[in-house]
Structure 1
């Protein structure tokens, strides 16, 4: 009996591990075949000489690839992020691969409203224009934590910080028109469960709470796109997007076997950062979307989105709640 119990205790974790891996593989395959059967590519050859582009989170991943592409087109590119060391490496990489030395770093922490305000003040006093704003920075999978502003960290980084930043830079974008705002959302916004009055709070306890917080933040990005499209003058383009499921280092903290398996699945099924950056590059430069506003894109074309974003009342409620949370009048 003792031997049987010991054998059961040994085999159970292995069965659970295999089950998790099979579920992960099935999910990855579903996402690949159903949601992203093709990989859109931006084919525009537009030059950006004399233009200024700002990419939040441009020091790594799809943000870095976006900054690289805009730099290769001749733009003066500002990388806004927290990590100066990673930004320096990214700038050196872009300069080496594109020959563009007009790439700069500006410190920005979207989890702190004081940092966002300081960034906007410095930018507005230092630059006379802003042609492209790519709101790329984001986070997910974090344990529930309140920022110094008393807001859920994921909601603040993914939405409220970007909301404040965009509003503080709107004058420069309007003065530089035709200009573009690109907001990186996610397909996961389809699963959002919004309560406007609790927008700045945790989405719930545990894993599912974290998931819904992330989904809520990404739906708010789509709602923000709709709100800005109604408010901005002609000549300022604003659209949101799903970049695709991109291979990152998110699995590196998992057990060795799980990590290696997930990385293998990513190699086969998921996108590289360069592939994942294509839709936001497309929205930043392509002639095909000149004058297109308030839309949601995936694989460099319009895509289906959560129809809550068509609820004008909800769009306005979230807009005014966001003004209150960020301290804007």
Structure 2
């Protein structure tokens, strides 16, 4: 009797596992057909000699490939991230593949406002300009927790931290006009549904809550891009983007079962490599045709549709005011 119960229990688990895989496969397949029928490629040949570019999270994944491409075009590239050892490996790789030795590392932990303020102070004292700021670093799928600043970890790393960093570097961007701010968001912003009053708080501990928390952070990135486009001088291009479905380690902290399913589907559906995922980022950094484009959302190196609420000017302003309050 007990063996039979165990048998049927295992059978049910197997059926559920198969159903989850099939449903996820179907959803991702629909996405690939609808949103990524062709992988966009940056076609600009623009050089960046004499320019200074800052890439957060430039030691791995999309950030590394973005830093590599900007360095290949002649820019001085600053990689801002945690972990000096991994950053050193990334710099060695970039120098070897581009021949550009003007690639540097500066420590930055977006989960700590004290680190962001120290980074900004050091950068502003070291460099006289900032031509391109790529807010790329992010995280997802982590166990909900508060930072030392008493802010939800994912919201701080993905949104509040970059918000503060950009604010502290704004004078350099203005002094370097025409300059650019690029914000890596996600198509998952469509699932975001934010409460401005509790924007910095943990929304829950379930897997579903983790998903919506990540989506909310990316929706905030979109609203932030809109606000910056209104508040900054016209010579500063600021836009957000979805890099596509990319094989990176951003979701490595998901439960092992879900991570294995996700990685399996990445292989089956031929998800983008980090280099392919960086194409829209690079496009917004260098393409002449987007220098005067502001507050837009891109995917596959083209303007794309976004959640309608992003155009709500009242919401844009309320989120901005809350962000200023949280980061002050």
* Structural RMSD (CA): 1.7
Give 1:3 deviation, angstroms.
Answer: 4.6
Report the CA distance shift for 1:256/1:221 in structure 2 as closer, same or farther (over 3 A): closer
Q: Paired residue for 1:285?
A: 286
The question of whether the paired residues in 2 share the 8 Å contact of 1:159 and 1:221 is answered with: yes
- Mapped to 2, the partners of 1:44 and 1:2 lie a distance apart of 66
**Deviates most, 91-100 or 261-270:** 261-270
Q: Paired residue for 1:36?
A: 36
Counterpart secondary structure, 1:133 = strand
Report the CA distance shift for 1:253/1:194 in structure 2 as closer, same or farther (over 3 A): closer
Report the CA distance shift for 1:282/1:166 in structure 2 as closer, same or farther (over 3 A): same
- Mapped to 1, the partners of 2:254 and 2:160 lie a distance apart of 28
Cα deviation, 1:14-37, whole Å, max 9, x if unaligned, reads 222222222222222122112222
Give 1:251 deviation, angstroms.
Answer: 5.5
- 1:5-84 alignment to 2 at 5 Å? 5-84=5-84
The question of whether the paired residues in 1 share the 8 Å contact of 2:41 and 2:279 is answered with: yes
- 1:112-261 alignment to 2 at 5 Å? 112-249=112-249, 250=251, 259=260
Give 1:83 deviation, angstroms.
Answer: 1.3
Counterpart secondary structure, 1:315 = helix
1:324 and 2:295 correspond: no
Counterpart secondary structure, 1:79 = strand
The question of whether the paired residues in 1 share the 8 Å contact of 2:44 and 2:287 is answered with: yes
1:303 and 2:304 correspond: yes
- Mapped to 2, the partners of 1:222 and 1:256 lie a distance apart of 31
Give 1:143 deviation, angstroms.
Answer: 1.2
Cα deviation, 1:222-245, whole Å, max 9, x if unaligned, reads 111111111111211000001111
Counterpart secondary structure, 1:241 = strand
Report the CA distance shift for 1:252/1:223 in structure 2 as closer, same or farther (over 3 A): closer
Counterpart secondary structure, 1:155 = helix
- Mapped to 1, the partners of 2:259 and 2:209 lie a distance apart of 23
TM-score (norm 1): 0.95
**Deviates most, 266-275 or 127-136:** 266-275
Cα deviation, 1:76-131, whole Å, max 9, x if unaligned, reads 00000011111111000101111111000000000000000000000000000000
Counterpart secondary structure, 1:106 = strand
The question of whether the paired residues in 2 share the 8 Å contact of 1:229 and 1:293 is answered with: yes
Give 1:292 deviation, angstroms.
Answer: 0.5
- Mapped to 2, the partners of 1:256 and 1:305 lie a distance apart of 31
- Mapped to 1, the partners of 2:129 and 2:112 lie a distance apart of 24
Report the CA distance shift for 1:216/1:2 in structure 2 as closer, same or farther (over 3 A): closer
Counterpart secondary structure, 2:240 = strand
Counterpart secondary structure, 1:226 = helix
- Mapped to 2, the partners of 1:120 and 1:2 lie a distance apart of 63
Give 1:7 deviation, angstroms.
Answer: 2.4
Cα deviation, 1:136-155, whole Å, max 9, x if unaligned, reads 00011111100000000000
Report the CA distance shift for 1:201/1:303 in structure 2 as closer, same or farther (over 3 A): same
Please list every run of 5 or more consecutive structure 1 residues that lacks an aligned counterpart in the other structure. none
Report the CA distance shift for 1:254/1:148 in structure 2 as closer, same or farther (over 3 A): closer
Kindly tell me the number of residue pairs found equivalent between the two proteins.
326
TM-score (norm 2): 0.95
Structure 1 runs, 4 residues or longer, greater than 4 Å off: 251-258
Counterpart secondary structure, 1:151 = coil
Counterpart secondary structure, 2:105 = strand
